[in-house]
Structure formats: structure tokens, C-alpha cells
Amino acid sequence: MGKPKVLIIDDEPLLVKSTCMALRISGLDARGAPDGLSGLKEAETWKPDIVLLDVMMPEMDGWQVLEQLQETPSLRNTPVVMFTAREYANGKQLARSHGAVDYVPKPFEPVSLIEVIRRYVSSTVPNPG
């Protein structure tokens, strides 16, 4: 079985780059996309095992991308974890009500992010410790 594939959609290039690096060095396969549209394209062609999706993005925000992902038959079952630097009083519930599996507030630590990924990806995710 190959490495679990993680797609990160976020408009902050450095965050995408650094998260991808941190995940790859921990034994995952990670790719990034700088906006919703390219993220959706990447998801359709690359078929990631999990999508990490930022909420606040220009043009198409995270909730809209999530809706599109759910409307795409091939991606409907791909777990999506929302992450955001915005304040939500009840982020987890909000994310779940939109159909995401979880919510991670920024700033997160790579180790805890990997733990979240492990929770939703059935293929072997290396132990972050």
C-alpha cells in the first residue's frame, strides 16, 4: 500500500509549502493547492485520501469548495478536515454540519495534524511521534 495522499487547499503559499514538507518528512504524500478551483481540479485528478481545507479563501471559500467536493461523485467519500485561523465558537460542530469530518484550529502542530489524519484515513499513516 502506498503512502496516504493528503491534499492541502489554502491561499497561504508558505503555509501550504511548510505543511506539505512537514507531512512528507513524516512519511505522507502531500500536495498543495493555492485556491478552491485548482484544489478541486487537483482532487479530481490526484484522488487524495484526505483533504485539508482552509475556510477563509478569496473568491471561493472553504465551505463552497466543500460543497463542490460533495457534489463530485468520485470525491463524495473523501474525508475533509477544515482548518481555519478564524474564530468559531463551535468550529467542530459547524464543520460537521457542513459535511466535513473534523475541524482543526490554526495554528496547529504537524504532530497533532497527523493524528487527525490518522483518525480518518484507513491506510497506514506513520506514527507522528
Partner 1 sequence: MSNPQEIRVLVVDDSPHNLQGVTELLRFQGYHVECAHNGMAALSAVDSFAPDIVLLDVVMPGMDGLEVLRALRGRLEDCVVIVMTGHESLDHAREAMALGASGYVGKPVRWETLENYLNGAIARLQTRKQQKHNARELNNTVETQNQHLLQVLEEMHKQGERMDCIVNGMSDGLVALDRSGRITMLNRRAEDFLGKKFSECAGEKLCSSVSGNVLVEQLRELCRSEETNRTVSFNHEGIRHYRIQLSRMDARNESDIGTVILISDQTDRMELEHFRGTFLSNVAHELRTPVNIVLNYARVLELHSEERTEIREIAHDLEIDGRRLRYLINNFVNVARLSEATASVCCRPTDILKLLRYHIDASRERAEEKGVVVEFESEMESAVVRTDPHLMETAFSALLDNAVRYNRSGGTVTIEFTCDDDLENGWFHVVICNQGEGLPEELQIPQIGRTVMRREARGAGTGLYLASRAVELLGGSLELGRDGRMGTCVRMSIPQHSTSRDIGQMYATC
Site for partner 1 in 73-112 (CB under 8 A): 85-87, 89-90, 106-111
Q: Choose between 56 and 64: whose C-beta lies nearer to partner 1.
A: 56
What cell does 120 get?
480518518
Q: Which of 3, 15, 60, 68 binds partner 1 (CB under 8 A)?
A: 15
Q: Taking CB under 8 A as the rule, does residue 21 contact partner 1?
A: yes
Q: Which of 4, 5, 6, 19 binds partner 1 (CB under 8 A)?
A: 19
Q: Where are the alpha helices (DSSP H) in 1-129?
A: 13-25, 36-46, 62-71, 91-98, 110-120
Segment contacting partner 1 by CB under 8 A, of 17-25, 28-36, 44-52, 119-127: 17-25
What cell does 89 get?
465558537
Q: Which 3 state secondary structure label does DSSP give 129?
A: coil
Q: Which of 41, 46, 47, 56 binds partner 1 (CB under 8 A)?
A: 56
Lookup result for grid cell 487527525: 116
DSSP H or E stretch at residue 84: strand 80-84
